[in-house]
Amino acid sequence: MCGFVCLWNIGDEDLAQKMVTKIAHRGPDAVEVVRGQGAPVVMAHCRLSIIGPEDGRQPIWDKGDLLVANGEIYNHADLRAILGESAFETESDSESILHLFRTGELRWIAKLDGMFAFVLATKTRIIAARDPLGIKPLYMARIGEGLAFASELKAFDGIEVDHVESIPPGMLYDSHDGMRQWYRTPHGAAEEEPGLDIEAVAGELRLVLEEAVAKWMVADVEVGSFLSGGLDSSIIAALAARLAPYRLKTFAVGTAGSDDLRAAREVAAHIGSDHYEDVFTAADVARVLPHVIYHLESADVDLVRSAIPTHFAARLAARHVKAVLTGEGADELFAGYTYHHGYADHPQELAQELTRSLNAMHNINLQRVDRVTMAESLEARTPFLDRDLIDFAQSIPATLKMRRTDPEAVESTGETTEKWILRKAVADLLPEALVWRKKAQFDEGSGTVAALEEALMIVSGAEAPLDRAAEAALYERLLRAAFETPERILQNAGTWESASRVTAA
Question: What is the set of active-site residues?
Answer: 2
Count of residues making up the chain? 505
Q: What 8-state DSSP symbol labels residue 185?
A: P
Q: Which amino acid is located at 356 in the chain? A: R
Residue 492 · residue 153 · CB < 8 Å: yes
- Strands 171-174, 126-130: pairing kind: antiparallel
How far is it, in rounded angstroms, from Cα 93 to Cα 79? 9
How far is it, in rounded angstroms, from Cα 17 to Cα 13? 6
Q: For 463, what's the count of Cα atoms within 13 Å in the CB-facing half-sphere?
A: 0
Q: Which of 218, 323, 329, 225 is nearest to 267 (CA)?
A: 225
Q: At what angle do helices 365-374 and 282-296 cross, to 10 degrees?
A: 100
Q: What 8-state DSSP symbol labels residue 28?
A: B
Residue 146 · residue 119 · CB < 8 Å: no
Radius of gyration (C-alpha) of the chain in whole angstroms: 22
Q: Which of 394, 393, 421 is nearest to 405 (CA)?
A: 421
Neighbour tally for 255: CB within 10 Å: 21
Instruction: Give 483's strand partners.
Output: none
- Is 196 exposed, middle or buried, given 0-12, 13-18 or 19+ CB atoms closer than 10 A? middle
